[in-house]
Amino acid sequence: MSRTRLLFAPGDLRGADSVDDAALAGAIGEVESAWVTAQAAAGLVSAETRTAVTGAVDAVTWELQADAEALAGLAADAESGGNPVIPFLTQVRARLTPEAGRALHRGLTSQDVLDSALGLLVTRTITQTRARLDVITEALRSLSETHAETLCLARTLTQPALPTTFGLRVATWAAEVAEVAALTPRSDAVQVGGAAGTRAAIREFAGDRTEALLREFEVQLRGPDAALSPTPVPWHSDRVRVLTWATHFTQCVGVGSSIARNVLIGTRPEVGELALAATGGSSAMPQKTNPTVAVLLHRNGMRAPGLLATLATTGAEAVEERSDGAWHAEWPALSALMVLALSSLALLEEMVTGLSARPEAMRRNLDAAGPGIYGEKLTIVFGDRLSKDAIREILSGSGDPAERLGAALAATPGPVPDPAELEGFFGPSSYLGEAESIRETIIRTTDPTTP
C-alpha cells in the first residue's frame, strides 16, 4: 500500500506499514539473501561470496526503504519485466563482482522470489491477525459475562422477535471471532521451482546437494522447524493457498463489519442501547458525535468482497506453468486484503473495548415492543385451547394482555392461572429459553484454557 494513498482510506494506516512497498522490498531482499546463504551452507559458494551478496542486498534494501523516490524508481523499472524482482536484482548486481553476481538468484525465477516474499508478508500478517483475534475474543467474552442477565429485544429481519439477553448477543459475536481464529490457515509457504517449475537449473548446478540446498533455504525463511517438514514442491500455478489466505483476511474484515453493523444500529439515538467510548465529530454539526470506528469497519466490509472475488478469479485463471496476468493480478488484491484485515482488527479491538451497554434503554425498547413478542409462547402453551384469532386478539387488544388472556382461557375448558401467573406470563425473563445455557456454552468453548 503506497503511503501516498492513505488519505483515501482513513484507518488503513493501522495496517499499511506491514504491507507497503518498503515491506515488500525488504521481503524480496530477505529471500535473495536466504538463497545465497543456503548455497553457502550447502557448500555451493564460498563464505566470502555469501557475505558479498548479502551485503549488496542489504545495501539496496536499505536505500529503497529509506528513500521514497528510490522505491518509485524501482516501481517504474518494474514495468518492463512486469515485476519488481528484476530491477531489484539489477541494482544488487551493480554492486557485485561478476563471480559474486553469478551466485545471486542462481537457478531461481522471479516468481520464486516474489511468491516467497509475499509468503513472508502473509506469515507476518497472519501472526498479527491471530493475536488480535484472541484479544478481541477475550474482550467480548468479558463483556458477555458482565451482561449475562441484561434483558434486551431480539430482532429478526429488523423487526421485534423475542426477549433475549445482551450477554447472549455478545457471546455470538465472540463465537464468530473465535471461529475465524480457529480457521487461521498455515502461511509458511516457500516457492522454489526455477524457470518452469522443474528446478532444472538448480539440479544442474547443485547436483546431489539439491535437497540440502532446498532444505536450508526453507530453514532460512521459516526457521529451524522447517527442517522437519517435507521438501516444498513448486506451486507456480497452484494458487489454492493464495485464495485460502485471502479468505482468512476477508473473514477478519467481515466479522468486524458484522459486529460494527450491530453497534451502528444500537448507537442510533432512537435505539440508544449502546455507546462507544471514542466517537468522531462533524465538521458541520457541532452537536453530533459519530460512531466513526464502527463506520470504518462497515466500510471495510464493503471493500473486501471484491478483492476476494479477484483472487478467486486469478486462481481459476492460473494456467500452464505460469499465468499470463493472473499471477500479476494477485499482488495488489492480496496486499490490499492484508491491509484491510490488519486495519479492521485494530479498529474492532478499539470498538469492543470501548463499547458499553445501556440496560435501561434495552428494557425500554423491550417493553415498547408490546405483548406481540410473546405470541410464540402463547401458541406453544395454549394453542390447544385458543385459536389463532383469539391469540391475535389477546396480543393486539387494548388494556392489560394478562387480563385478556385470563378471560379467553376462562371461556375454554381447563384451568385458568391465577392473576400473578398471568402477569408473569408476559414478563421477558419468563421466555428466555436456553439463552443462558447457550451463552455459557459459547463462553466455555471460546476459552483458550478449556481442553
| pLDDT, tens only, 141-199 | 999 999 999 999 999 999 999 999 999 999 999 999 999 999 999 887 899 999 999 99
Residues 137 and 349: their CA atoms lie apart, in Å, by: 9
DSSP string, 106-174: TT--HHHHHHHHHHHHHHHHHHHHHHHHHHHHHHHHHHHHHTTT-EEEEEETTEEEEEEEHHHHHHHHH
**Which residue, 218, 199, 215, is CA-closest to 207?**
199
Give a yes or no: residue 51 inside a domain: yes
Q: How confident is the model at residue 289 (pLDDT cuts 50, 70, 90)?
A: confident
Is the pLDDT at 78 greater than 70? The verdict is yes
**170 near 140, Cβ under 8 Å?**
yes
Q: ∠ CA 382-364-145 to the nearest 5 degrees?
A: 90
pLDDT digits (tens, 9 = 90+) for 239-252: 999 999 999 999 99
> Does residue 313 sit in the same domain as residue 437?
no
pLDDT of residue 279: 65
Q: Are 112 and 52 in contact (CB under 8 A)?
A: no
Both 100 and 241 in one domain: the answer is: no
State the pairing for strand pair 151-156/355-357: unpaired
Same domain, 387 and 408: yes
Contact by Cβ (8 Å): 393, 403: no
Q: Collapsing DSSP states into helix, strand and coil, what is residue 105? A: coil
* 89 found inside a domain: yes
Q: Contact at 8 Å (CB) between 1 and 19?
A: yes
Q: What pLDDT sits at residue 15?
A: 87
Phi-psi region of 320 (alpha: psi -120 to 50; beta: other; left: phi over 0): left
Q: Do 288 and 304 lie in a common domain?
A: yes
pLDDT at res. 283: 44
Give a yes or no: residue 336 inside a domain. Answer: yes
pLDDT score at 2: 44
Indicate the residue among 363, 395, 414 that finishes a domain.
363
Kindly report the average pLDDT of the chain as a whole number: 93
Cell of 227: 527442517
Residue 323 among the catalytic residues:
no
Q: Is 444 a catalytic residue?
A: no
Give the residue from 328, 363, 398 where a domain finishes: 363
- CA-nearest of 150, 197, 185 to 169 is 150
Q: In terms of domains, do 335 and 209 share one?
A: no
Same structural domain, 179 and 254: yes
Q: Rounded to an integer, what distance in angstroms lies between the CA atom of residue 380 and that of residue 382?
A: 6
Residue 241 domain-assigned?
A: yes
Q: What is the CATH number of the domain that holds 29?
A: 1.10.275
Is residue 116, in this structure, part of any structural domain at all? no
Distance (Å, whole) CA 412 – CA 385: 6
Please tell me the predicted confidence (pLDDT) of residue 359.
Answer: 98
31 and 165 in a common domain: no
Give the total number of structural domains in the chain.
3
| Same domain flag for 219 and 182 | no
Lowest mean pLDDT: which of 54-68, 226-240, 311-325? 226-240
Distance of CA 102 to the CA centre of its chain: 42
pLDDT of 137 above 80: yes
Query: How many angstroms from the chain centroid is the CA of residue 409?
Result: 54
Domain range enclosing 83: 12-106+198-228
C-alpha–C-alpha distance, residues 275 and 143, integer Å:
13
Q: Using CB atoms within 10 A of its CB, is residue 75 exposed (0-12), middle (13-18) or buried (19+)?
A: middle
Do residue 258 and residue 331 come from a single domain?
Answer: yes
Mean of pLDDT values over 239-267: 98
Give yes or no: residues 353 and 433 share one domain. no
86-136: pLDDT as tens digits: 999 999 999 999 999 999 999 999 999 999 999 999 999 999 999 999 999
The yes-or-no verdict on residue 343 having pLDDT over 50 is: yes
Over 90: is that where the pLDDT of 226 sits? Answer: no
Residue 352 pLDDT exceeds 80: yes
Percent of the residues in the chain that have a pLDDT greater than 70, as a whole number:
96
Residue 327: the pLDDT is 96
282 has pLDDT over 60: no
Domain for residue 160, yes or no? yes
Task: Give the domain-ending residue among 333, 363, 393.
Answer: 363
Q: Are residues 183 and 309 in the same domain?
A: yes
Does any domain span residue 154?
Answer: yes
pLDDT at 284 exceeding the cut of 80: no
Confirm whether 450 is domain-assigned.
no
Asked if residues 422 and 405 have their Cβ atoms less than 8 Å apart, the reply is yes
Could you tell me which residue, 15 or 355, shows the higher pLDDT? 355
pLDDT band at 340 (very low <50, low <70, confident <90, very high): very high
Same domain, 45 and 95: yes
CA neighbours within 13 Å on the CB side: how many for 349?
Answer: 17
pLDDT confidence band for 445 (50 / 70 / 90): very high
Give me the catalytic one of 2, 229, 282, 356: 282
> Which has more confidence, 228 or 2?
228
